[in-house]
Amino acid sequence: MDELLTLLKRNALETPENLARMLNLSVEEVRARIAEYEHAGIIRGYQAVVNEDQLDLDRVTAVIEVKVTPEREGGFDYVADRISKFPEVQSLFLVSGAFDLLIFATGRDLKEVALFVSKKLSTIRGVVSTSTHFRLKTYKASGVLMEAQESSERLKISP
Amino acid sequence: MSSPRSRIAAHIRDIPRSGIRDFFDIVSTMKDIISLGIGEPDFDTPWHIREAAIAALERGSTSYTSNLGLLSLRQAIARYGERVFNIHYKPENEILVTVGVSEALDLALRAIIEPGDEILYHEPCYVSYAPVVIFAHGKPVAVETRAEDGFRLTRAQLEAKVTPRTKALLLNFPNNPTGAILEPHDLREIADFAIQHDLIVLSDDIYAELTYDGRHTTIASLPGMKERCIFLHGFSKAWAMTGFRMAYACSTPELIEAMMKIHQYTMLCASIISQEASVEALTDADADVEEMRAEYHRRRNFLHNSFKEMGLPCHQPRGAFYAFPYIGHFGLTSKEFALRFLDAEKVAVVPGTAFGECGEGFIRCAYATGMEDLQEAMRRLARFIHSLQPNARPQPNAC
């Protein structure tokens, strides 16, 4: 992957000036390449990584495993496409193994997510069965540890 | 009764206090500083290497090992040397596992020095080189490298300092504190010099993996060098394993046997837990090393470009994780500059003189520190040098 993307994935707020210094590029080059990535749809957005456990939010997250009968035309894509349009669905993956689709969904409370599963998800043509797991605690998300780790302090000056 | 001071052996008594330690004492009393004075990686040891150490403890690997080190580790070292450096050493009798390169260097010097033998080394350099030569009753002979040469060491500089008493040459490239490297043709010249004067070459290759414009060549890999070279390497820098205290020496069976004699009676062996972790480091951590190297590379670019923007002359560091910019045109000594910068902006850098007198006019900025701190430190450095109102233009040849 382009180093520029690696750095932006790590910190999307990094200034073009600093990116230019790190990558030995001109500021204009950095700006142009970011614009190109945005235009090509390779960069699809910029988001903060939030530790929601620290906020007093009335929200629940669920991981939902879905078994699906693939369509003759379009395979899993037809069902996946329909599921992905629900605003409750944050992420959706086709996976190998005992089930087919893996959904990360959010809702105000257990009831809302349960209703989403029973009324909307299970009734889609092709969905054979679902299994819902509610999130209890987040340890790591988007590659970021959610709790500050104690690290041993280095000497302030060493040879 | 003799005075307490006179009981100390003269050659130890006469060694001056380390300049870096003076500075450390000042810095360690201060809170909330950004330190560019740290000569160790800011990364934690890769998790799978730490797991290997935990597994060793769980297995009950808590015993002594062979004086030479675990055979499995020596085998891994031999394979790594062949794979990465094109050097060929037998695990059975040409490799010795030590507690840091510091110990390996001490063993090597004690094994070869007769009292009064001269050891050539280049300055600016790591702080311990001259003292360990003196501990072994040798005479350290400094060869000054210069900014205008990119702090490379040349044969001409060496020829000016060699005498019939010269026994060995000590090399450290990529270099702490300058970030300089030697190109293969520089190494060939130095190798020819060593052969002509029949010198042993102690090559401290501790920063070997951390180069940014091409891969490292060790002098030990050059034809004709194996029989007169002691190759020293360790895990502290590229694998971020300083606290494991793990390193090794590779050389001829005779030199390794001599070093092992000292090692067995003074150290016995390196920690088995660290040795087990090091096997993991050599066999399955190339990707981790590459990831850290890439990050140092970006930081190197960032610092060098920042210096350029603020008009601070600095040769391009090409290895290790240090930049060595010139600050002599502000009318302050390195130490004055470092102290005033610390006082005014709460950023610690190390005066160049800590690494030899010819480091006067320079400061060492380590980039083994996270990018956010580096960015803040460069903002403060720009503000600080602006406040100094330089009374002289930078010397053109200092860059």
- Residue A2 scores a pLDDT above 60: yes
Number of residues that make up chain B: 399
Would you list the DSSP string of A41-107?
A: TSS--------GGGS----EEEEEEEEEPPBTTTBTHHHHHHHHTSTTEEEEEE-SSS-SEEEEEEE
**Interchain CB distance below 8 Å, A157 and B37:** yes
Task: Let me know: does A67 contact A100? Beta carbons within 8 Å.
Answer: yes
pLDDT-derived band at B394 (thresholds 50, 70, 90) equals: low
User: Which residues are paired to B123 by β-bridges?
Assistant: B144
Q: Among A21, A24, A159, select the one facing B20 at the smallest CB separation.
A: A159
For residue B73, give Cα distances in angstroms to A53, B66, B106, B200, B246: 45, 11, 21, 26, 11
Tokens of A57: 């939010």
How far away is chain A from the Cα of B200, in angstroms, using its nearest Cα?
26
Give A99-151 pLDDT, tens digit per residue.
Answer: 999 999 999 999 999 999 999 999 999 999 999 999 999 999 888 888 877 77
H or E stretch at B3: none
Q: Which residues contact A144 (CB under 8 A, 6 or more apart)?
A: A49
**Interchain CB distance below 8 Å, A156 and B38:** yes
- What's the topology of domain A3-39? Arc Repressor Mutant, subunit A (1.10.10)
Catalogue all structural domains in chain B, each as residue range(s) with its CATH number: 5-44+287-398 (3.90.1150.10), 65-284 (3.40.640.10)
Report yes or no: A20 at the B interface, CB cutoff 8 Å.
yes
- Taking CA–CA distances from A10, the nearest residue in chain B reads B371
pLDDT of residue B393: 56
d(CA B80, CA B82) in angstroms, rounded, equals 5
**Interchain CB distance below 8 Å, B301 and A21:** yes
pLDDT-derived band at A72 (thresholds 50, 70, 90) equals: confident
How far away is chain B from the Cα of A146, in angstroms, using its nearest Cα?
17
- Residue B174 scores a pLDDT above 90: yes
Report yes or no: B44 at the A interface, CB cutoff 8 Å.
yes
**Interchain CB distance below 8 Å, B39 and A159:** yes
pLDDT of residue B155: 96
Instruction: Provide the 10 A C-beta neighbour count for residue B28.
Output: 12
Give A86-106 pLDDT, tens digit per residue.
Answer: 999 999 999 999 999 999 999
**3-class state of residue B340 by DSSP:** helix
Report yes or no: B78 at the A interface, CB cutoff 8 Å.
no
**What's the start-to-end Cα distance of chain B, in Å?**
56
pLDDT of residue B180: 98
Give B229-288 pLDDT, tens digit per residue.
Answer: 999 999 999 999 999 999 999 999 999 999 999 999 999 999 999 999 999 999 999 999
Mutate to test the interface with B, among A6, A8, A14, A21 (most CBs of B within 10 A): A21
pLDDT of residue B391: 56
Is the pTM higher than 0.80? The answer reads yes
Closest CA to B278 of B88, B10, B50: B50
**Interchain CB distance below 8 Å, B38 and A3:** no
Residues B322-334, mean pLDDT to the nearest whole number: 96
pLDDT mean across residues, chain B: 95
Give A27-55 pLDDT, tens digit per residue.
Answer: 999 999 999 999 999 999 999 998 888 88
- Residue B184 scores a pLDDT above 80: yes
How far away is chain A from the Cα of B127, in angstroms, using its nearest Cα?
7
Give B199-233 pLDDT, tens digit per residue.
Answer: 999 999 999 999 999 999 999 999 999 999 999 99
Alpha helices in chain B (DSSP H): 10-13, 19-27, 47-59, 71-80, 100-112, 129-135, 155-159, 184-196, 253-266, 272-284, 286-309, 334-345, 371-388
A&B contacts, CB < 8 Å: 62
CATH number corresponding to A54-136: 3.30.70.920
- What ipTM does this complex have? 0.84
User: Which residues are paired to A66 by β-bridges?
Assistant: A101, A130
d(CA B360, CA B24) in angstroms, rounded, equals 18
Q: Where are the domains of chain A?
A: 3-39, 54-136
pLDDT of residue A149: 75
Report yes or no: B316 at the A interface, CB cutoff 8 Å.
no
Give B110-156 pLDDT, tens digit per residue.
Answer: 999 999 999 999 999 999 999 999 999 999 999 999 999 999 999 99
pLDDT of residue B396: 45
- Residue B302 scores a pLDDT above 60: yes
Give B287-299 pLDDT, tens digit per residue.
Answer: 999 999 999 999 9
- Residue B320 scores a pLDDT above 70: yes
**Interchain CB distance below 8 Å, B40 and A18:** no
Q: What pairing do the DSSP bridges indicate for beta strands B322-323 and B247-250?
A: unpaired
H or E stretch at A131: strand A127-134
Q: Which residues of A touch B350 (CB under 8 A)?
A: 157
pLDDT of residue B399: 43
How far away is chain B from the Cα of A8, in angstroms, using its nearest Cα?
13
How far away is chain A from the Cα of B19, in angstroms, using its nearest Cα?
10
Report yes or no: B57 at the A interface, CB cutoff 8 Å.
no
pLDDT of residue B1: 67
Would you list the DSSP string of B135-172?
A: HTT-EEEEEE--GGGTT---HHHHHTT--TTEEEEEE-
Share of chain B above pLDDT 90, in %: 91
pLDDT of residue B397: 47
Residues B14-28, mean pLDDT to the nearest whole number: 86
Angle at B162 between CA B158 and CA B167, to 5 degrees: 110
**Interchain CB distance below 8 Å, B375 and A154:** no
